[in-house]
Amino acid sequence: MNRAVSIIMRVTSKDKILEHAARLFYRQGIRGTQVEQIIAEADVAKRTFYKHFPSKRDVVLAFLEKRHENWMTWFQEAVERNAPAGEARLLGMFTVLKDWFQSPLYFGCAFLNTSTEIRDARQSERQLSRRHKAEMDQLIGKWLEEANYVAPYLAQQLGLLVDGAIIRAQCFSDPEYADYAHAICEQLLSQAE
Residues 21, 73, single domain; the answer is: no
Domain at 137, CATH number: 1.10.357.10
pLDDT at 90: 96
Residues 104, 144, single domain; the answer is: yes
- Written as one string, the DSSP assignment of 68-82 is HHHHHHHHHHHHHHH
The CA distance from 115 to 31, in Å, is 12
Are 79 and 89 within 8 A, CB to CB? yes
Residues 144, 176, single domain; the answer is: yes
Residues 136, 182, single domain; the answer is: yes
Residues 39, 101, single domain; the answer is: no
Last residue of a domain, one of 12, 34, 54: 54
Please state whether 108 falls in left (phi above 0), alpha (psi between -120 and 50) or beta.
Answer: left
Domain carrying residue 9: 1-54
43 backbone dihedrals φ, ψ, rounded to 5°: 55, 50
Residues 74, 122, single domain; the answer is: yes
The CA distance from 25 to 114, in Å, is 9
pLDDT at 184: 98
pLDDT at 3: 53
C-alpha closest to that of 97 among 83, 84, 86, 85: 83
Residues 49, 62, single domain; the answer is: no
Q: How many domains does the chain have?
A: 2
Residues 47, 92, single domain; the answer is: no
Residues 149, 167, single domain; the answer is: yes
The CA distance from 193 to 184, in Å, is 15
pLDDT at 10: 47
The CA distance from 67 to 44, in Å, is 22
pLDDT, mean of each 10-residue run, the chain (193 residues)? 48 89 97 97 96 97 98 97 92 97 97 94 95 97 94 93 98 98 97 85
CA-based R_g, the chain, Å: 19
pLDDT at 150: 85
The CA distance from 175 to 177, in Å, is 5
Residues 44, 136, single domain; the answer is: no
CA triplet 62, 64, 76: central angle to 5 degrees?
A: 125
Residues 85, 154, single domain; the answer is: yes
Are 77 and 138 within 8 A, CB to CB? no
